[in-house]
């Protein structure tokens, strides 16, 4: 049976008009029940006749991911381990941001990129998520927050913006990524505004060019090393795209005034955190078009990396500013609940 959450608005229209033989106004009604009201049972769609509801229930489902485990951090971060219809596990994280939340979404079960510092990379790749599974994380996250009293039925959504930064490489699930980005800002739906989403990727030029043309989201590039050699050591598969080719593609990524491309730089103690590395990084990036997020690695059992010194992290940031590069040390949220990508699932397995 078809999961209605896997259908874009246009596909839902075809379902209503062609399969159900219903008038067009039913499309908006159904879309609103699915995405704005978050209904999971056809019998709750009270503005639709009983016969129509039964017909839909006979050929379609509304399948949300189930919550397998919840971890709440002292800083307000919430991590949800979700079970998909086939038993596969993924993670999503809700991060407090002013009076609302940012949500970090997974796009694949596992990841094929095998970055050396990443738990998800160690688990390997299992499969892509469908659009319904990607946006189903938002439905589950929003309900979780509403049940806790964050936001209200008539107020703005408790989720303000999204980062595609959970398990998986979003640009390797490009079709479902783009379908989800198109669905997000629609009226009577999740209503997460245009360009309130950021796609975190190790960087694939062809797919980045497609993303740029859609103007639906900005990229955050997982760079983590300022040279091709060092990147190849810690991100061997990502580094198959030469750094100069990636930088050339980013130089052409369309930006609007005040928009910047984010570079994520995970500081690994003694590996990529020296002032020399900061100098190399400053030389690599176009300081007028980027900002750099510095993240201090949290030492994890069984991983061959250590946390950088606090002083070193601050000196690294200062050095980038000295070169005119906008850089921020990102607060590591949810450290006490293992909010780093793939840690909860790794524990569970």
* Catalytic status, residue 104: no
Nearest approach in angstroms of CB 193 to ligand SF4 is 26
Is the separation of the CB atoms in 237 and 113 below 8 Å? yes
Q: Report the run of H or E that residue 312 belongs to, with start and end.
A: helix 310-322
Residue 118 contacts ligand SF4 per CB under 6 A? yes
Residue 264 contacts ligand SF4 per CB under 6 A? no
Residue 225 contacts ligand SF4 per CB under 6 A? no
Residue 111 contacts ligand SF4 per CB under 6 A? yes
Residue 120 contacts ligand SF4 per CB under 6 A? yes
Footprint of ligand SF4 on 316-345 (CB under 6 A): 341
Among 106, 96, 74, 139, which residue's Cα sits nearest to residue 345?
A: 106
Sole binder of ligand SF4 in the list 16, 62, 115, 339 (CB under 6 A)? 115
CA distance 344 to 120: 10
Footprint of ligand SF4 on 275-314 (CB under 6 A): none
Tell me which stretch binds ligand SF4 (CB under 6 A): 61-69, 113-121, 186-194, 299-307: 113-121
* Catalytic status, residue 252: no
Nearest approach in angstroms of CB 237 to ligand SF4 is 8
In sequence order, what are the residues at sequence separation of 6 or more whose Cβ sits closer than 8 angstroms to the Cβ of residue 33? 39, 44, 45
- Around Cβ 310, how many Cβ atoms within 10 Å? 10
The smaller minimum CB distance to ligand SF4, of residues 5 and 89, is found at 89
Residue 136 contacts ligand SF4 per CB under 6 A? no
Sole binder of ligand SF4 in the list 81, 84, 113, 138 (CB under 6 A)? 113
> Which parts of 229-297 are beta strand (E)?
261-267, 290-296
Is the separation of the CB atoms in 79 and 93 below 8 Å? yes
Taking every pair of C-alpha atoms in the chain, what is the biggest distance, in angstroms? 70
Instruction: Indicate which residues carry an active-site annotation.
Output: 91, 341
């Amino acid at each position: 049976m078809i999961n209605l959450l896997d259908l874009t608005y246009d596909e839902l229209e075809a379902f209503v008009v062609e399969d159900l033989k219903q008038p067009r106004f039913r499309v908006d009604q159904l879309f609103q029940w699915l995405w704005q009201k978050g209904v999971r049972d056809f019998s709750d769609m009270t503005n639709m006749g009983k016969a129509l509801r039964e017909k839909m229930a006979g050929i379609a489902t509304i399948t949300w991911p189930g919550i397998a485990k919840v971890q709440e951090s002292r800083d307000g971060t919430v991590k949800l381990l979700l079970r998909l219809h086939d038993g596969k596990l993924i993670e999503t994280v809700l991060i407090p941001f002013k009076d609302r939340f940012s949500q970090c979404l997974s796009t694949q079960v596992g990841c094929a990129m095998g970055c050396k510092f990443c738990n998800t990379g160690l688990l390997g790749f299992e499969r892509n998520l469908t659009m319904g599974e990607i946006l189903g994380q938002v439905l589950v996250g929003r309900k979780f927050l509403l049940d806790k009293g964050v936001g209200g039925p008539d107020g703005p959504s408790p989720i303000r913006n999204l980062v595609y930064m959970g398990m998986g490489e979003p640009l390797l699930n490009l079709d479902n990524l783009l379908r989800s980005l198109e669905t997000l800002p629609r009226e009577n739906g999740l209503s997460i505004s245009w360009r309130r989403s950021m796609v975190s990727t190790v960087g694939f030029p062809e797919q980045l060019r497609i993303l740029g043309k859609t103007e639906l989201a900005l990229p955050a590039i997982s760079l983590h090393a300022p040279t091709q050699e060092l990147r190849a050591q810690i991100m061997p598969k990502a580094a198959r795209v030469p750094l100069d080719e990636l930088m050339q593609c980013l130089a052409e990524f369309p930006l609007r005034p005040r928009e910047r491309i984010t570079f994520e730089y995970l500081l690994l103690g003694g590996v990529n955190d020296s002032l020399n590395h900061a100098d190399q990084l400053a030389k690599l990036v176009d300081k007028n078009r980027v900002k750099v997020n510095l993240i201090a690695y949290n030492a994890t059992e069984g991983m061959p990396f250590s946390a950088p010194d606090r002083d070193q992290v601050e000196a690294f940031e200062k050095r980038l500013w000295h070169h005119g590069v906008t850089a921020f040390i990102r607060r590591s949220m949810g450290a006490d609940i293992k909010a780093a990508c793939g840690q909860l699932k790794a524990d569970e397995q």
